[in-house]
Amino acid sequence: MLVGVVEVGMLESHGRKGANIDFLNQVVGDVPICGILSTRSNVSSEESDKYCIYFYRQITSLAGDDSSADYFQISDALEWNICNETEPPPEVDIENRLIFVSSENNCTIIERASRVQKLGGAGTLIVEDKLRAFEQNDTNYNFTLGFIGNSSYFKIMETASNETTAGMYSPKDSPLHISLIIIWILAVFSVSVGAFWSGIVRHKLYLSEQCSGVEYEGGADRPQEPVLPREETSMNLSAKSILIFVVLMCTMLLLLYFLYDYLVYMIMGMFCIASGAAMFSCLEPIVSKIPCGTCRTPYFNIYIVRGTLELRQILLLLFSFGLSITWIVLRKQPWSWILQDILGITFSINVLRVIRLPSLKICTILLSGLVIYDIFFVFITPLITSDGKSIMVEVAKGGASQEQLPMVLKVPNFAYYEIAKICELRDNYNLLGFGDILIPGLLVAFASAFDRQVGTPCHLYYLVNVIV
């Protein structure tokens, strides 16, 4: 089970499809980040074309938006061997211009930017599809330096004229992350509804058991015909069962880490079935209040599935599984996160409704075990793995695979929408694993049931747990 919020894609160039930029010898802390190059046909033009660039914050400071960016005319110096100090500059204007230079010369990016600056250039744009890491030292640099892909460079040159201007900027990080607020609301909603419903179901089952016990003790005849097994008020779990559960979670996470490309499709199929069933379970009480469509099918017995269904239930069944199948077919579409979140919310609510822990002791053992599980796979595994990466984060992101596990709520990072669109970031999402919803949700569900059983006024324990 995946836990934790993971912000994916903003600084991940391998997630880009646009300029096909790969990192070589990447240095932690010195990672290039996305920016935007805006070009205009002339100084007075309001229309602009925008291209993805990369830059190092340790070297370059860019404006926060298009309106505050400084625009300069551009010059193409791709044929210039900028690393050869004895070679004169090309016969193009350099002073107060943004200069496109090649990456194929044997010198550092600092040396290239420094030479352009000495010649009066306003900035340097290195044309390459592979970024070499900038190894930071104690020297403070202040160059206007960016990296642009070959395809973007050729597009610019196709339409460029002597009056074409360009400016670089990088949208500033907003102090208010709308996407995080949305994902928090979705999580709190799932926990609140699922736990409250769980308390209602558990209390009804408890009252039913009490009534049944009184009836049988009073001498009433027990039913002679076979009946369906009675649903238990809570799961019969022990401390040993919880320990086995945590070990199985660890095993599953390790299997996903090493065999992700094979297991991800099995997990997606299981999620598709489980979320479809959860959608049906969540909506069935609402649909049952619709006065029409009450005609029933004949009694059926297909393996473990038996009974009859009303027409409205059949339609709901088709809708529920149709929604999950639609998601799995169209999961690559940019709007598919909406379907995934709807399915994820109903899945979480249904799990909280069905899985009812028997005691506070079991809740405590489970939460304690998962805290250790969480800390180990998020913070300790980077010290063990050869690449220094967290096992849980890598599984949540999908690693090098093009598929991601659906066991998360995901919301696009709206703060970086412009960059995500222009740079074609594949994974510009905030993710929240179901573990962060279900595990605390089980405790809230227990509190909700406790309130009803002992008659706590105003559902006090439930409300306190939801707020906390």
| Radius of gyration of the CA atoms of the chain, in A | 30
The Cα–Cα gap between 104 and 91 comes to 20
Nearest to 378 by CA among 84, 90, 2: 2
Contact 200, 452 (CB under 8 A): yes
- 165: three-class secondary structure by DSSP: strand
* Residue type at 337 in one-letter notation: W
> In the annotation, is 436 catalytic?
yes
- 456: three-class secondary structure by DSSP: coil
The Cα–Cα gap between 347 and 433 comes to 12
Instruction: Look up tokens 């409250």; give the residue.
Output: 196
> In the annotation, is 30 catalytic?
no
276-313: b (≥16 Cβ within 10 Å) or e: bbbbbbbeeeeeeeeeeeeeeeeeeeeeeeeeeebebb
Instruction: Find the catalytic residue in 30, 93, 221, 374.
Output: 374
Provide CB contacts within 8 A for 199, sequence distance 6+: 445, 447, 448, 449, 451, 452, 459, 462
The Cα–Cα gap between 438 and 352 comes to 7
The long-range contacts involving 239-243, CB below 8 angstroms and separated by at least 24 positions, are 239/361, 239/362, 239/365, 242/362, 242/365, 242/366, 242/369, 243/369
Residues 142, 147, 152, 154, CA torsion sign: positive
Instruction: Find the catalytic residue in 341, 427, 436, 451.
Output: 436
| Strands of 5-8's sheet in order across | 5-8, 429-433, 408-412
Contact 145, 109 (CB under 8 A): yes
407-446: b (≥16 Cβ within 10 Å) or e: bbbbbbbbbbebbbebbebbbbbbbbbbbbbbbbbbbbbb
Q: Where in the sequence numbering do the catalytic residues fall? A: 374, 436
